[in-house]
């Protein structure tokens, strides 16, 4: 999936992946896609929860060899 | 001043300290900042504990929504999955001028694994019985000590607390027993026996598929410890599983495993055979336990609610009292009993199939995966209210 911006949040522990994601998405325009990479297992549920709560759309995600990637479309 | 030496404005609360608060029915206000699904699945409970849930990611624009709901005068504990987010939010609350702000060391992860040893009582033949309360998950395990020897029953996955306890008392763990093949937590029995050289005992009817060697627990095959005065007497009490075995210790204590709890009874469906085992369960409870002396102290393998803990944090009751107070022991009609134990049961414990496979030795998840599998309440009782 093509992303307008990629955020590397690998190696960061909760809450930093979401804190960084929030900052990164603020810099995007509505409809643009942010790709976020994390290694914190808890970020899977939290990214879903955060997207639901803020209204941004979690378009896709995958988990591969301990790295989690999320694609979020700014509302 | 550098980041590292900045004084913390919030105080760490250890799982041990929180256990004292819960058991002592002390007041505490908890702000749980995990996401809603995790919170709804499982949270810290206590008689005088007030708890609210606001996910940390809803407080990134400011902590005002939380401040509005937190009473001024109470001790505040901020809790998250591991620790990081609770510190992150807790520090902002303290910076906003609130006092008495704590965060839970290790978060729900450590809370779920904390074992608190409490003494249940002395044995007439010399020795003591200790209960290890896994308060975050509602699991109870036991160590019986006599003359330098010990037996551990229904060991939790984390075996270090038993090793430390035995070492501090200069006793050697000689036997490790499981009342049944557990479905809600990973047994530490096998590892504990590997590390200590103790014999590991399982009910053979639950161990059909296990992949490792074990000793067979059989009715009347008593296990003796110390100078031989203290005996652990197995009684075959099927119903939660087909192999479920109770232990009568020193004719004083009845370890009921997952057959009989303080406020409920065991569910017969976790090994997938609810209908088949209903009559076994009823027979074990009403006939076998019903025929035992009323003065026996019942020590179960779980509790459901923290109000089952007494003020010292112990979970126990006299068998005779349970026959008047426990709803599961007071269902006269067999059809009603069948309904109670097969219909409208609480959800099954998290990952219970994988946990059973792990306890059989069929799969070998790593520690992080095991921890993940054990998240949440035990849910081994038929009543979960």
Residue-range domains of chain A with CATH: 5-73 (3.30.110.40)
B384 pLDDT above the threshold of 80? no
Place of tokens 């075995």: B245
- Give the pLDDT of residue B1: 43
- Where among B82, B110, B138 does a domain terminate? B110
> Would residue B1 count as lying in a domain?
no
Place of tokens 């910076």: B95
Contact: A18, B372; criterion CB under 8 Å: no
> Would residue B5 count as lying in a domain?
no
Q: Are residues B94 and B130 in the same domain?
A: no
Torsion angle, CA of B40/B46/B50/B52, rounded to 10 degrees? Answer: -20
Say whether residue A3 is in contact with chain B using an 8 A CB cutoff.
Answer: no
Say whether residue A46 is in contact with chain B using an 8 A CB cutoff.
Answer: yes
Q: Are residues B104 and B144 in the same domain?
A: no
Q: Number of structural domains, chain B?
A: 2
Say whether residue A16 is in contact with chain B using an 8 A CB cutoff.
Answer: yes
The domain in which residue B227 lies consists of 115-373
Which residues of chain B make contact with A49, given a CB cutoff of 8 A?
Answer: 35-37, 55, 57
B385 pLDDT above the threshold of 80? no
Q: Are residues B32 and B162 in the same domain?
A: no
Write down the catalytic residue from A6, A8, A13, A14.
A14
B2 pLDDT above the threshold of 50? no
Q: What is the pLDDT of residues B18-48, one digit of tens each?
A: 999 998 889 999 999 999 989 998 899 988 9
Q: What is the CATH number of the domain that holds B167?
A: 3.60.15.10
Catalytic residues of B: 80
Q: What is the pLDDT of residues B183-203, one digit of tens each?
A: 999 999 999 999 999 999 999
Instruction: Please tell me the total number of residues recorded for chain B in this structure.
Output: 385
Strand pairing class (B245-249; B230-236): antiparallel
Q: Are residues B171 and B313 in the same domain?
A: yes
How distant is the Cα of A13 from the closest Cα of chain B, in angstroms?
Answer: 7
Contact: B36, A49; criterion CB under 8 Å: yes
Q: How far is CA B43 from CA A3, B102, B157, B183, B379, in A?
A: 37, 17, 20, 20, 14
% of chain B surpassing 90 pLDDT: 81
The rounded distance, in Å, linking the Cα atoms of B215 and B199 is 7
Which residue does chain A place closest to B81, by CA atoms? Answer: A42
Which residue does chain B place closest to A48, by CA atoms? Answer: B35
Instruction: Please tell me the total number of residues recorded for chain A in this structure.
Output: 75
Catalytic site includes residue A14: yes
Strand pairing class (B253-257; B49-53): unpaired
The rounded distance, in Å, linking the Cα atoms of B268 and A13 is 40
Place of tokens 């899977």: A44
| Residue of B38, B58, B368 lying closest to A45 (CB–CB) | B38
Which residue does chain B place closest to A55, by CA atoms? Answer: B58
Which residues of chain B make contact with A19, given a CB cutoff of 8 A?
Answer: 60
Q: Are residues B184 and B36 in the same domain?
A: no
> Would residue B285 count as lying in a domain?
yes
Average pLDDT over residues B262-268: 94
Average pLDDT over residues B134-159: 96
């Amino acid at each position: 999936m093509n992303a307008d911006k990629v955020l590397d949040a690998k190696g960061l522990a909760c809450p930093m992946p979401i804190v960084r994601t929030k900052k990164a998405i603020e810099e995007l325009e509505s409809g643009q896609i942010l790709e976020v990479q994390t290694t914190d297992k808890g970020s899977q549920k939290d990214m879903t929860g955060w997207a639901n709560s803020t209204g941004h759309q979690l378009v896709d995600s995958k988990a591969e060899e301990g790295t989690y990637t999320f694609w979020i479309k700014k509302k | 001043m550098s980041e590292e030496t900045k004084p913390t404005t919030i105080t760490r609360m250890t799982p041990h300290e929180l256990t004292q608060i819960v058991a002592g029915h002390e007041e505490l206000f908890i702000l749980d900042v995990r996401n809603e699904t995790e919170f709804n699945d499982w949270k810290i409970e206590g008689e005088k504990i007030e708890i609210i849930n606001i996910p940390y990611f809803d407080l990134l624009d400011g902590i005002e929504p939380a401040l509005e709901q937190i009473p001024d005068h109470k001790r505040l504990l901020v809790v998250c999955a591991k620790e990081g987010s609770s510190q992150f939010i807790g520090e902002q609350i303290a910076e906003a001028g609130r006092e008495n702000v704590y965060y839970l060391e290790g978060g729900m992860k450590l809370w779920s694994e904390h074992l608190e040893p409490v003494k249940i009582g002395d044995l007439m033949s010399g020795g003591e019985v200790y209960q290890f309360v896994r308060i975050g998950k509602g699991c109870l395990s036991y160590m019986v000590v006599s003359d330098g020897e010990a037996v551990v029953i229904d060991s939790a996955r984390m075996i270090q607390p038993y090793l430390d306890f035995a070492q501090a008392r200069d006793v050697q763990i000689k036997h490790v027993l499981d009342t049944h093949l557990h479905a809600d937590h990973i047994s530490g029995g096998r590892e504990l026996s590997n590390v200590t050289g103790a014999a590991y005992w399982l009910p053979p009817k639950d161990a059909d598929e296990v992949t490792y060697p074990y000793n067979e627990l059989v009715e009347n095959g008593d296990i003796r410890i110390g100078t031989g005065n203290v005996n652990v007497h197995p009684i075959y009490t099927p119903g939660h599983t087909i192999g479920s075995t109770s232990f009568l210790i020193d004719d004083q204590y009845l370890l009921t495993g997952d057959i009989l709890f303080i406020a409920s009874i065991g569910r017969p469906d976790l090994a997938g055979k609810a209908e088949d085992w209903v009559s076994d369960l009823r027979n074990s409870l009403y006939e076998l336990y019903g025929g035992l002396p009323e003065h026996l102290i019942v020590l179960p393998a779980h509790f459901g609610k923290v109000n089952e803990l007494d003020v010292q944090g112990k979970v126990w009751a006299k068998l005779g009292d349970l026959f008047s107070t426990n709803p599961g022991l007071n269902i006269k009609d067999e059809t009603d009993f069948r309904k109670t134990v097969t219909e409208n049961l609480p959800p099954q414990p998290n990952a219970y199939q994988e946990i059973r496979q792990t306890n059989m030795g069929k799969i070998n998840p790593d520690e992080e995966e095991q921890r993940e599998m054990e998240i949440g309440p035990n849910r081994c009782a038929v009543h979960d209210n």
